[in-house]
């Protein structure tokens, strides 16, 4: 029996000793040949400098491919900074490259975790593609003549290697080409017993699904274009308004697919929790905090509905209010039974407020102690 577990974001190592198994050479450019051109926007570097090979000629270049959401990349920042400092007077330029498209997220991250070399954005992913980067952290080593000498896991980069790159004597053996198909891609191969894929979201027109779309077909569960808060809401069955996530992961969207031995919800949610922890490097805990909320109460003339044995409880009003207002709503109506009211999904905040008022209820600002689901990165930040 074959067990296939695939976490596509987990090529991002979780410790300094972690190395991706798939060779970058099998998908990337040829070593000891002219390096592919760079298509980068310099985010953090000296004024007037350009992250182009022509402008960098005469200097060796260490391109370090990373991301703010990659826990293995974050663990390697002190190591890369140490090498940058060690070779600050040598003709070598360290450039940390991320393909994230939100400059503000990257800038906010750098304020907390400075990177000593240049930081550049590959907003269209062209440089990642040209260098065959399918995971991270990876480093491309280019000598002073613009020749690509290696593409290696960043965790294996050391001072001796950089010294040889600067002197022009670096000679690494290119990895062998992969002649056999990757497990799971063989023609006629069996379906995997277990599979999990997490990737940055593709455009809706490329996948044919709108952001937020979800489907369950047999034992395969899939969702497209969702952020970490939505994934946590699904995995822990907690409203999104009651979830706090790291700023660096708040806006980035992902596609997720999981195939399990059976389709039981408890198994699927348990697997999703493990995938979130492994792929994003976050730990999740429940914590009570006093925060601004909206308080749901009865109006002075009371509710405009009657008790009904088979009706709805007031939680529907709370749930729809949290969605429309994008904040926590605390129920202080004291209504514990089931009722004959009708509340449709709100088209807007104004629609929601009008519908709530029509039910004889009010929503007013306040502060309350509320249990939140808090996700934090594991390891030093």
Supply the pTM of this predicted model. Answer: 0.56
Residue 147 burial by Cβ neighbours in a 10 Å radius (0-12, 13-18, 19+) = middle
Exposure b/e, 362-375, CB count within 10 A at least 16 = b:
bbeeeeeebebbbb
Q: How far apart are CA 24 and CA 95, in angstroms?
A: 19
**Please, what are the domains in the chain?**
9-167 (3.40.30.10), 195-280 (no CATH), 289-375 (no CATH)
User: CA-CA distance, 333 to 321, in Å (whole number)?
Assistant: 14
Torsion of CA 235, 73, 20, 140, to 10 degrees: 140
> What is the pLDDT tens value at each position of the chain, 381 positions in all?
233 333 333 334 333 333 333 333 345 788 999 999 998 988 887 887 788 898 999 999 999 999 988 888 999 999 999 999 999 999 999 999 999 888 888 999 999 999 999 999 998 888 998 998 877 899 999 999 999 999 999 999 999 999 999 999 998 888 766 566 777 777 788 888 889 999 999 988 888 888 999 999 888 999 999 999 999 999 999 999 999 998 888 889 999 999 998 878 888 999 999 999 988 888 999 999 999 999 999 988 877 777 777 788 888 899 899 988 989 999 999 888 888 888 888 888 888 889 898 888 999 999 999 999 999 887 544
Nearest to 329 by CA among 211, 240, 218: 240
> Which residues make beta-bridge pairs with 258?
196, 221
């Amino acid at each position: 029996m074959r067990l296939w577990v695939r976490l596509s974001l987990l090529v991002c190592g979780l410790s300094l000793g972690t190395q991706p198994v798939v060779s970058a050479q099998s998908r990337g450019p040829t070593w000891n040949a002219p390096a592919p051109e760079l298509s980068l926007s310099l985010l953090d570097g000296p004024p007037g400098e350009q992250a182009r090979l022509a402008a960098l000629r005469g200097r060796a270049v260490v391109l370090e491919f990373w991301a703010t959401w990659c826990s293995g990349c974050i663990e390697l920042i002190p190591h890369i900074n140490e090498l940058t400092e060690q070779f600050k007077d040598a003709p070598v330029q360290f450039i940390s490259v991320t393909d994230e498209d939100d400059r503000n997220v990257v800038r906010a991250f750098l304020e907390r975790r400075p990177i000593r070399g240049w930081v550049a954005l590959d907003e269209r992913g062209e440089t990642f593609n040209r260098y065959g980067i399918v995971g991270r952290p990876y480093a491309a080593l280019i000598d002073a003549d613009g020749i690509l000498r290696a593409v290696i896991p960043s965790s294996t980069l050391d001072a001796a290697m950089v010294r040889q790159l600067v002197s022009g004597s670096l000679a690494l053996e290119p990895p062998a080409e992969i002649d056999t198909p990757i497990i799971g891609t063989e023609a006629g191969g069996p379906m995997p017993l277990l599979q999990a894929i997490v990737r940055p979201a593709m455009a809706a027109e490329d996948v044919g699904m709108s952001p937020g779309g979800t489907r369950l077909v047999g034992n395969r569960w899939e969702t497209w274009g969702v952020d970490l808060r939505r994934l946590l809401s699904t995995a822990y069955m907690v409203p999104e308004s009651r979830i706090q996530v790291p700023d660096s992961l708040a806006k980035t969207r992902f596609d997720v697919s999981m195939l399990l031995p059976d389709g039981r919800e408890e198994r699927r949610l348990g697997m999703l929790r493990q995938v979130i922890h492994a792929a994003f490097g976050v730990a999740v805990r429940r914590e009570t905090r006093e925060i601004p909320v909206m308080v749901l109460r009865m109006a002075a003339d009371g509710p405009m509905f009657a008790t009904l044995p088979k009706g709805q409880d007031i939680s529907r009003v709370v749930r729809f209010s949290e969605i429309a207002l994008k904040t926590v709503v605390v129920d202080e109506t004291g209504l514990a039974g089931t009722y004959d009211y009708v509340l449709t999904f709100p088209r807007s905040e104004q629609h929601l407020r009008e519908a709530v008022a029509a039910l004889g209820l009010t929503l007013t600002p306040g502060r309350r102690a509320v249990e939140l689901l808090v996700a934090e990165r594991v390891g030093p930040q």
